[in-house]
Amino acid sequence: MTLSLGKDLLGLEPLSGEQIKLILDTAEPFKEISERTIKKVPTLRGATIVNLFFEASTRTRISFEFAEKRLSADTVNVASSGSSVAKGETLVDTARNLEAMRIDMVVIRHGASGAAQFLAERIESNVINAGDGTHEHPTQGLLDLLTLRDHFKRLEGVRVCIVGDVLHSRVARSCIWGLKRVGAEVAVCGPRSLLPSAIEELGGGVTVFRRVEEAIEWADALNVLRLQLERMTAGYIPSLREYNRVFGITRERLERAPRDVLILHPGPMNRGVEIDSDVADGPFSVILDQVTNGVAIRMAVLYMLSGGRPELAEAAKGGKREEGRGKRGGDDD
Amino acid sequence: MTSAVLLRGGRVIDPSQSLNGVADVLIVDGKIEALGERVANDAAGRHGLETIDCAGLVVSPGFVDVHCHLREPGREDVETIATGARAAAAGGFTAVCAMPNTDPVTDNQAAVGFIIRQASLANAARVYPIGAISLGQKGEALAEFGEMVGAGAVAVSDDGKPVASAHLMRTALEYARTFGIPVADHCEEPTLAAAGAMNEGLVSARLGLKGIPSEAEEIMAIRDILLARRTMGHVHLCHMSTRGSVELIRWGKDRGIGVTAEVCPHHLSLTEDAVEGYNTNAKMNPPLRTADDVVALQEAVRDGTIDLIATDHAPHHYDAKEREFADAPNGIIGLETALAVNITWLVATGVIDLPLLVERMSCAPARVFKLPGGTLRRGSPADVTVFDPESSWIVEPSRFKSKGRNTPYSGRTLTGRTRYTLVGGTMVHREPT
């Protein structure tokens, strides 16, 4: 059975646990590159990558760009605010134009769920979903998993509760799929108005905690989602203040937990809303580790989609992309 | 000069006369002249007689679609009254009702007259205009029902948009009583359905698409039923899609309230799973629901809780559907697949038999909307459909008479095909064999 990811990375739902673990394993050797003085390897030399961002993004775009540059790819950033409809050119025309320029990969961030798949079905280049609407954000899910594995040294049986606006969160969906696939236990907690109506059935079973105190008592780790201000004006919750009082992750709440609870957050944080500063900056926060791991995960995904063999990732750092052309020298490293 | 057509040896199914058996049908001067076993002998030698061999085929009153969108005036690039009427004929429909959400909106007698005129030039299925409930379909002031009916409108509807105001719906039901026309409502509670792209449930949760809960339809269905009771009016509920709606309609009918209802072939055959992969040709409003809803709707067609099947034929330009799911317009075409979808999912599966299918596609719609047709009674206009209930075919949208190509059945093998469609005794569609 092949563990190849195929042409694209559109989400974690279609992946198996083995494939996900392989990406995490492949990311391990790439972590070290970012610690070097000269943070560059020639792995993707000659490859052309377009970062197509239809939605504003700082962290994800920069993380992808660093991953690409540290692998020596040639990159172009296309940023476009607003929906493609407002922009005039349709996504299908954008896709055709990119294809005509003979690019190798596209990293796409788009406000519409399914936009990455739409693009992937229409071009031959590899497509990496950097977040599509409220659907998935697979590299974020993967970096969450890598960070959890770094800490717990395993993923099977680890109890992770995703707290907050699951309804509108692509991070939550990718995190849920990723955790379920590798055998972790998944729960969600948040105002019922911000949880999808069928959340209990998602991925074959997700626990729902009504109160955040129960979630904290149960969990080994909390993945705290950003609460968008718009949710208040759209009538999903009465106020940010009450949200913080009922669902906010505070030191007082965590101190009552029976064990140390690891704190993750996909960023950017609303300090004092979904998470208090002393938690975000506290001893159990791995929020910045997530950011660091994000670069390694994206390098691993870029490497694997470009045809690189995971078992040669360590060797690939020093040389060229291994494409089955007999270069096996680094196999024993 | 007289013209005569003999439909010979077909299985005549006419629920309006409880007919179901092999017989000949003789059409003279556009009307049903005779029907029976010995008609062929009597007709033999008649001057100018065209005989059509219908052995192995079903001869039925022409199908009537009370709900389609022909896009003219306004979007003639997407469909015209002529192309829509030809698509209807190809699907075995001898009459269709055109919804008023055109541009400009069909909300006055001149606009109604325009549709009648365009239809008369099409030489295909008859087209009956439906007028708007409110001026510009804005949901505020009533349109002039009386003048529109005078010009040929057969019903009123703000279809495509919900009638958000209960007061407007009440007055529409009251006012329509004067003219004896149904008020057809697109049941959708706008605040619940806002920005929704598909059925709310597990699939929408997975795909990250904003869901439309069943209650958005059901709340308006029961509102309309209660207002029909209050006003003694006739409300016709369009494209019902949920089990809950079926139960509410049953409740209303049990109490003798003036409610009738329709369901579309796609809601009788497909579920929300068809959206998988962000398939914009499975996007319509109301959305495809769950398997449980499909079962309830099929059962409602069988027991008569739902009176009739209508297509909600909604052509869109190819480009409009070739985009992100949330941005794609709602609607699919249906005129040329309705018969086959119904046979494939309802008749071949044993939910209903062919006579009941003809009742739901021909007799009931004609009766509910008080239209001519829906019968092969002697002396009635010869609106006749001849179809092969066994013939299998693969749906190839490029072969449609409609300008629309937006169908979720593309590439599927369906059973049941129209062979001949006659409107007023004139052959308006003949399937190449």
A10 inside domain: no
- Is B327's CB within 8 Å of A202's CB? no
Q: Check: CB of residue B203 under 8 Å from CB of residue A13.
A: no
Distance CA B365, CA B370 (A): 8
The structure tokens 């390694």 sit at: A296
Distance CA B142, CA B136 (A): 9
Same domain, B156 and B78: yes
What element of type H or E holds A224?
strand A221-224
Distance CA B273, CA B276 (A): 5
The structure tokens 């991953």 sit at: A67
Distance CA A203, CA A187 (A): 11
Boundary residue ending a domain (B347, B368, B389): B368
The pLDDT score that the predictor gives to residue B198 is 98
CB atoms within 10 A of CB B45: 7
Same domain, B167 and B263: yes
Domain total in chain A:
2
Same domain, A65 and A181: no
- pLDDT exceeds cutoff 80 at A325: no
Same domain, B309 and B208: yes
Boundary residue ending a domain (B368, B398, B413): B368
The pLDDT score that the predictor gives to residue B308 is 98
Residue B159 Cα to chain centre, angstroms: 13
Residue predicted with more confidence, A208 or A2: A208
Of all residues in chain A, what percent carry a pLDDT higher than 90? 77
The pLDDT score that the predictor gives to residue A310 is 80
pLDDT band at A81 (very low <50, low <70, confident <90, very high): low
| Separation in Å, CA B83 to CA A176, B99, B395 | 49, 15, 18
Average pLDDT, chain A: 90
Mean pLDDT of A202-224: 96
- pLDDT exceeds cutoff 50 at A330: no
B373 inside domain: no
User: Could you tell me which residues come within 8 angstroms of residue B378 by beta carbon, excluding any fewer than 6 positions away?
Assistant: B32, B33, B34, B35
Locate A45 and state its tokens: 């030399």
A31 burial type by CB count under 10 A (0-12 exposed, 13-18 middle, 19+ buried): middle
Question: Which residue type occupies B328?
Answer: A
Task: From chain A, pick out residues whose CB is under 8 angstroms from the CB of B326.
Answer: 112-114, 133
- pLDDT exceeds cutoff 80 at A120: yes
CB atoms within 10 A of CB B177: 15
Quick: pLDDT tens for A131-141: 999 999 999 99
Mean pLDDT of A78-102: 74
- pLDDT exceeds cutoff 70 at A331: no
pLDDT band at A317 (very low <50, low <70, confident <90, very high): confident
Distance CA B288, CA A22 (A): 38
Q: Is B415 helix (H, G, I), strand (E, B) or coil?
A: strand
- Closest by CA position to B419, among listed B410, B431, B409, B404: B431
Q: Check: CB of residue A107 under 8 Å from CB of residue A51.
A: yes
Q: Check: CB of residue B132 under 8 Å from CB of residue B158.
A: yes
Task: From chain B, pick out residues whose CB is under 8 angstroms from the CB of A80.
Answer: none
Same domain, B203 and B283: yes
Same domain, A173 and A235: yes
Of the CA atoms within 13 Å of residue B424, those in its CB half-sphere come to 7
Same domain, A271 and A307: no
- pLDDT exceeds cutoff 70 at A87: no
Quick: pLDDT tens for A143-199: 999 999 999 999 999 999 999 999 999 999 999 999 999 999 999 999 999 999 999
Catalytic-residue membership of B383 = no
B25 inside domain: yes
| Separation in Å, CA A26 to CA A18, A153, A299, B163 | 12, 16, 9, 57
Which CATH number fits the domain that encloses residue B91?
A: 3.20.20.140
Domain total in chain B:
2
pLDDT band at A86 (very low <50, low <70, confident <90, very high): low
The pLDDT score that the predictor gives to residue A319 is 52
- pLDDT exceeds cutoff 50 at A85: no
Same domain, A209 and A274: yes
pLDDT band at A328 (very low <50, low <70, confident <90, very high): very low
The pLDDT score that the predictor gives to residue A84 is 47
A194 inside domain: yes
Same domain, B38 and B93: no
**Domain housing A236:** 138-289
pLDDT band at A56 (very low <50, low <70, confident <90, very high): confident
User: Would the CA dihedral through A283, A289, A290, A291 be positive or negative?
Assistant: positive
Same domain, B254 and B298: yes
- Is B208's CB within 8 Å of A202's CB? no
A6 inside domain: no
Same domain, B18 and B71: no
Boundary residue ending a domain (A254, A271, A289): A289
Which CATH number fits the domain that encloses residue B402?
A: 2.30.40.10
- Is A114's CB within 8 Å of B325's CB? yes
A:B CB pairs within 8 Å: 71
A230 inside domain: yes
Same domain, A63 and A80: yes
Q: How big, in percent rounded to 5, are the helix, strand and coil portions of chain A?
A: 45, 15, 40
What element of type H or E holds A93?
helix A91-100
The pLDDT score that the predictor gives to residue A10 is 98
- Closest by CA position to B125, among listed B86, B173, B169: B86
| Active-site residue (options: B224, B312, B383, B388) | B312
What is the signed CA dihedral for B33, B34, B35, B39, rounded to 10 degrees?
A: -130
The structure tokens 């972790």 sit at: A184
Quick: pLDDT tens for A224-239: 999 988 877 788 999 9
Boundary residue ending a domain (B368, B391, B420): B368
B420 inside domain: yes
Same domain, A305 and A258: no
Same domain, B54 and B67: no
- Is B324's CB within 8 Å of A135's CB? no
A306 inside domain: yes
Quick: pLDDT tens for A286-297: 999 999 999 999
Same domain, A152 and A278: yes
Same domain, B231 and B358: yes
Same domain, A24 and A83: yes
Helix locations, B123-260, DSSP H: 145-151, 166-176, 190-193, 202-207, 214-231, 243-254
Q: Which of A84, A85, A135 sits opposite B208 (nearest CB)?
A: A135
B374 inside domain: no
Report, as ranges of residue numbers, the positions in chain B whose pLDDT lies below 70.
1-2
| Separation in Å, CA B158 to CA B226, B258, B428 | 19, 19, 30
Q: Check: CB of residue A149 under 8 Å from CB of residue A155.
A: yes
- pTM beyond cutoff 0.90: yes
Locate B230 and state its tokens: 């209050």
φ/ψ region of B290 (left if φ > 0, alpha if ψ in -120 to 50, else beta) reads: beta
- Is A113's CB within 8 Å of B208's CB? yes
Quick: pLDDT tens for A8-27: 999 999 999 999 999 999 99
Helix locations, A229-310, DSSP H: 230-233, 240-247, 251-255, 277-280, 287-305
The pLDDT score that the predictor gives to residue A333 is 37
B392 inside domain: yes
The pLDDT score that the predictor gives to residue B227 is 98
The pLDDT score that the predictor gives to residue A332 is 36
Same domain, B251 and B278: yes
Residue of B nearest to A171 (CA): B208
Is the minimum CB–CB distance between B254 and chain A shorter than 8 Å? no
The structure tokens 């680094």 sit at: A330
- Is A113's CB within 8 Å of B323's CB? no
User: Could you tell me which residues come within 8 angstroms of residue A168 by beta carbon, excluding any fewer than 6 positions away?
Assistant: A134, A194, A228, A231
Which CATH number fits the domain that encloses residue A25?
A: 3.40.50.1370
**Domain housing B50:** 4-59+380-430
Same domain, B102 and B211: yes
Same domain, A124 and A229: no
Task: From chain A, pick out residues whose CB is under 8 angstroms from the CB of B325.
Answer: 112-114, 118
pLDDT band at A326 (very low <50, low <70, confident <90, very high): very low
Same domain, A210 and A176: yes
User: Could you tell me which residues come within 8 angstroms of residue B178 by beta carbon, excluding any fewer than 6 positions away?
Assistant: B145, B146
Distance CA A29, CA A71 (A): 13
Same domain, A157 and A222: yes
Locate A257 and state its tokens: 């937990």
Same domain, B189 and B230: yes
Same domain, A156 and A265: yes
